Amino acid sequence: MTDTTGIADLDFTSVTPQEFARIVKGLSGKEMKEIVQDGALRLRILREVFARMESQFRPENAGQTSAVIRWKVGQDGETVFETAIDKGSCTVTEGRSEETPKVTLVLGDTEFLNLVSGNANPITLFFSRKLKVVGDLTLAARLTHYFAIPKA
């Protein structure tokens, strides 16, 4: 893979959510495809995005919500993370737990990165069938209010 984006050299811990959103917004389709095809880089980016969810969580908006959200990301939803929201706290784990999720979100890598960087509208993704929602649709619709999503 030729790294035309420079993203492979980034220290993601030093990139703000807004900077990440700008980087994602500036990627061409070809560049995004190259990132996705580099398994190690793809996983590094996904892990960093999910690691930030806890700090981006807005407990005041989630209220007394208690739910497990399963994220299946990739061409076949092969990478799984779970977000557990429990009355004002949020924890993220990699992999599938034995918990029954209240909602499962299935989407490709490009759609996921665009969604979490504020560069895609979840409703548009859903109606264009690029985001599959299994379970509680109301909870899925509220997720964007539970997290501070950066804008590019």
Whole-angstrom distance, CA of residue 53 vs CA of residue 92: 7
- Residue-wise DSSP of 51-88: HHHHHHB-HHHHTT-EEEEEEEESTTS-EEEEEEEETT
Q: What is the pLDDT of residue 1?
A: 40
Helix runs in 3-136, H state only: 17-26, 29-37, 39-56, 59-62, 109-116, 122-127
Q: What is the pLDDT of residue 18?
A: 85
Q: What is the pLDDT of residue 5?
A: 52
Beta bridge partners of 68: 84
At residue 118, the 3 state secondary structure works out as coil
pLDDT < 50: residue spans in the chain: 1-4
Question: In the chain, what's the furthest Cα-to-Cα distance?
Answer: 47
Half-sphere exposure of 120 (CA within 13 A, CB side): 20
Looking at domain 14-144, its CATH class is alpha beta
Q: What is the pLDDT of residue 75?
A: 83
